[in-house]
Amino acid sequence: MPTLTISEILISLIQHVGLIVATGFLLLTLSPLESIGFRHPHLHTRFFQILFFGLFGIIGTYSGWEIMGSIANLRAMGVVTAGLFGGPIVGLGAGLIAGAHRVLIDIGGFTAIPCGLATLCEGVAAGLISTRMGDRFNWPVAALIAGLGEGFHMLLVLGLSRPFDQALSLVQVITIPMIFGNALGAGLFIYTIKMIFDYRERQDSHQAETLLQIVGNTVGYLRDGLTPVSADATARIIHAYYPVAAVSITSTDNVLTHVGEGSDHHSSGIPIQTRLTQAVIHTGKPRFKQGQSAIGCPNPQCPFTGAAVVPLYQKDRLVGTLIFYGSKEMPLTQTGFKIVKGLAGLFANQLELEAIQVQSRMLAHAEIRRLQAQINPHFLFNALNTIAAFCRTRPDDARKLILDLARYTRKNLDPAGTHITLAEEMAQVRAYLAIEKARFGNRIQVTRTIDEQALSWPIPALLIQPLVENAVQHGISEMESGGRIDISAEITNGSLSICVSDNGVGIPGERLSTLMDPGDMAHRTDRIGLANCHQRLIQLYGPSYGLNLFSTPGCGTTVTCIIPADKADTAGSDRRFNDNMAFGKSKAVNGRAC
């Protein structure tokens, strides 16, 4: 092979950099390799990353040129990217794979050992630097590490390779091409991955916003269960918000509604016709198919070319399916499949609300529904407005708020029972406060003092969160300077003591005396959460266990309650709400104490 000049080697390596980066881009945008993002660092994802970047280290070796018994290569761009992206473990693993490969393909070669050792060191060094700087997508740092790493590589060749004269001649030829080529390659590789991730984050944010819009508009319908009326309203909302050829909702036997194309033969009230939907009902597993034959519609003129069918569950019972259809004009993609699966999961939570009406321990059913109606719509719309604003200016915070809102909504719509643990209720409170603090910023300061032994204590669901919401909406938000909310829970004398206090505007004395009056609730829309919580405690544990309310205008408000241990799981299970249920005398006095 004729001897190449430095410029020829450099040009060749730069060309190969483009090919390697393009290959990485294609692989990272294909399923299932697109999952290399691995937001959760599980063991199997780390293993996959090691194999992925180790493979690119090997490709970097084969993309080089044989020079003087060695290889001018681009191996470092793969292992440096591995370390920066995945940390020391991934950098070490990828370095081992690529370095060992370099040694094995040239056993006894005079540069095999220093080349393999340098590759390993570059991967580990990039991983350690990544943990220090906390930014795995910093392409200038990637280029710098690769350049310095290849400089160290050249020193190892000079120090370990013999004969020295041959090593020196080799280093003089390949140093500049390898330093520049690997630096350029690592920087481009990291930058390409960053672009892919940014695109996916924007896509995920848009999908989440679409889901929240749909759920926010359908929540009122699906609370009535899966009926033709609720299904039709839900399908029309979905079709209005998401571009899809048609939306169908079925029971386990019949089509409840069909909105969009194909309504001439996919009509409401008829038995399920498509084989794909029948298969999903039979297996209980979601399916996404392309092609008319795969859908299995008996009508030869059916316009649909794709379908995503997802089962709908109410608890563990399959009650129907949610279907997205695609056509030639509006083809259905994997994104649509993800959307329909996400909606089905959220709708399942909403459908489970129907079970509240048949749970004997969910007392004062009408009041519970009124409490949720007070909490969910106003809070949801405010939260969506906040998230929408953040999507433009602070997308990272918007993603976090979407997750907080999803956790909050999921728990609010979960009718698992009349009681949950204090830890679960505090998780709900944290999700609520995360969104409210995004709205009000530093105007809301929160302190929590929770006895760890009390975290497993069963308490009525939606007990503390409405008290915190009351402190935010009626105490702190009305003060320009903001204020502080203190939440505490401790076990005293065999019972759980809960206290929520704020230093807000307080409650006037004349208002305080009627706040817990059940006769006044029907004519009031504000602070209904306090009265509702008070009534539920009375019904569960007796008239001596209602809320204790203390307030001083201009100083703040404190709400306390006691959850007894011997009654937490059983009290009130056989009681029913009726007009004769005594609301109990509210312990509302002037002054603040906690």
Q: Give pLDDT tens digits for 514-532.
A: 776 655 554 455 556 788 7
The confidence score (pLDDT) of residue 216 equals 74
CB 223 within 8 A of CB 353: yes
Q: Above 60 in pLDDT, residue 33?
A: no
Secondary structure class of 30 (helix, strand, coil): coil
The confidence score (pLDDT) of residue 414 equals 59
Report the amino acid identity of residue 538: I
Residue 320, beta-bridge partner list: 312
CB 159 within 8 A of CB 114: yes
Determine phi and psi for 321, rounding to 5 degrees: -140, 155
Tell me the mean pLDDT in the region 147-174.
Answer: 93
Identify the residue whose tokens are 């249920």.
581
Confidence of residue 223 (pLDDT cuts 50, 70, 90): low
How far from 231 is each of 185, 223, 251, 311, 586, CA to CA, in Å?
53, 11, 10, 14, 43
Q: Which two tokens stand for residue 160?
A: 């370990």
Confidence of residue 170 (pLDDT cuts 50, 70, 90): very high
CB 54 within 8 A of CB 82: yes
- Tens of pLDDT, residue by residue over 491-508, are 998 899 999 999 999 888
Q: Above 90 in pLDDT, residue 437?
A: no
Q: How far is Cα 70 from Cα 210, in angstroms, rounded to an integer? A: 56
Under 8 Å CB-to-CB from 297, ≥6 apart: which residues? Answer: 265, 266, 273, 274, 304
Q: How far is Cα 26 from Cα 28, in angstroms, rounded to an integer? A: 6
The confidence score (pLDDT) of residue 446 equals 93
Q: How far is Cα 559 from Cα 503, in angstroms, rounded to an integer? A: 12
Q: Above 80 in pLDDT, residue 135?
A: no
What is the reported pTM? 0.46
Determine phi and psi for 47, rounding to 5 degrees: -60, -40
Identify the residue whose tokens are 């563990």.
316
Residue 311, beta-bridge partner list: 321
The confidence score (pLDDT) of residue 205 equals 72
Tell me the mean pLDDT in the region 282-300.
Answer: 92
Tell me the mean pLDDT in the region 160-176.
Answer: 92
Q: How far is Cα 501 from Cα 107, in angstroms, rounded to an integer? A: 73
Q: Which two tokens stand for residue 284?
A: 């209980």
Report the amino acid identity of residue 467: L
Among 118-132, 214-228, 424-438, the least confident range: 214-228
The confidence score (pLDDT) of residue 588 equals 39
Which domains are assigned to the chain?
A: 6-201 (1.10.1760), 224-371 (3.30.450.40), 377-564 (3.30.565.10)
